[in-house]
Chain A
Amino acid sequence: MSVGKIFKFHDDLDTDQIIASQYLLLPSIDEMKGHAFESLDPEFPKKVKSGDYVVGGENFGCGSSREQAPGVLKALGVQAVVAKSFARIFYRNAINIGLPVIVCKELPDQVETGDEMELSLTDGTATAGGSTYPCTKLPPYMQKILSQGGLIASLNKEEV
Chain B
Amino acid sequence: MGMTIAEKIIARAAGVEEVKAGDIHTVTLDRMMSNDGTTHLTVDMYHNKLKNPRIADPGKMVFIVDHNVPSDNPKTAASQKKMRDFAREHGIDFWEGKGVCHQIMMEHYVCPGELIFGADSHTCTYGALGAFGTGVGCTDLLYGMVTGTSWVLVPETVKFNLTGRLPEGVYPRDLMLTIIGEIGASGVSYQVMEFCGDGAGTLSVNDRMVLCNLAVEAGAKTAIFEADQTALDWLAARGRKPAAVFKSDEDAVYEREYTFDLSKIQPVAARPDFVDDVVPAKEVCGVHIDEAFLGSCNNGRIEELRVGAAILKGRKVADHVRFLVVPASQQVYLQALDEGLIRVFMESGAIVMNPNCSVCWGSCQGVIGENEVLISTGTRNFKGRAGHPSSKVYLGSAATVAASAVKGEICTADML
Contacts and interface: CB of A to CB of B under 8 A. Distances in A.
Interface of A: 12, 14, 16-17, 20-22, 24-29, 38-40, 58-59, 62-68, 70-71, 85, 87-89, 92-93, 96-97, 139, 141, 150-152, 155-156, 159
23 contacts: A16-B385, A22-B367, A25-B76, A25-B363, A26-B79, A28-B44, A39-B389, A59-B189, A62-B219, A63-B380, A64-B380, A65-B119, A67-B41, A67-B137, A89-B136, A92-B137, A97-B137, A139-B24, A141-B151, A152-B50, A152-B142, A155-B51, A156-B52
Contact of B137 (A20, A25, A39, A93): A93
B137 A66 contact: yes
Nearest to A32: B41
A159 B363 contact: no
Contacts of A22: 362-363, 367
Contact of B219 (A25, A65, A88, A159): A88
Interface of B: 24, 36-38, 40-41, 44-45, 49-52, 67-68, 75-76, 78-80, 119-121, 123, 135-140, 142-143, 146-147, 151, 153, 185-186, 189-190, 216-217, 219, 221, 274, 276, 361-363, 367, 380, 382-385, 389
Given A38-B389, A63-B382, 14 more contacts: A14-B383, A21-B363, A25-B68, A25-B80, A27-B79, A28-B44, A39-B389, A59-B185, A63-B380, A68-B41, A89-B121, A92-B140, A96-B140, A155-B143
- A141, A152, A156 — which one has the most chain B CB atoms within 10 A of its CB? A152
Contact of A85 (B37, B44, B189): B189
- Chain B interface SS verdict (over half): loop
Those 5 A-B pairs whose CB atoms lie nearest each other, nearest first: A67-B137, A93-B137, A39-B389, A21-B363, A59-B186
B2 to A, nearest CB: 25
A22 B274 CA distance: 20
Given A12-B274, A26-B75, A97 B385 contact: no
B147 A155 contact: yes
Given A17-B382, A152-B139, A62 B185 contact: yes
Q: Which of A12, A64, A85, A87 lies at the interface centre, i.e. has the most chain B CB atoms within 10 A of its CB?
A: A64
Nearest to A153: B49
A25 B79 contact: yes
Contacts of B139: 67, 93, 96-97, 150-152
A152 B137 contact: no
B383 A17 contact: yes
Given A16-B385, A88-B219, A24 B380 contact: no
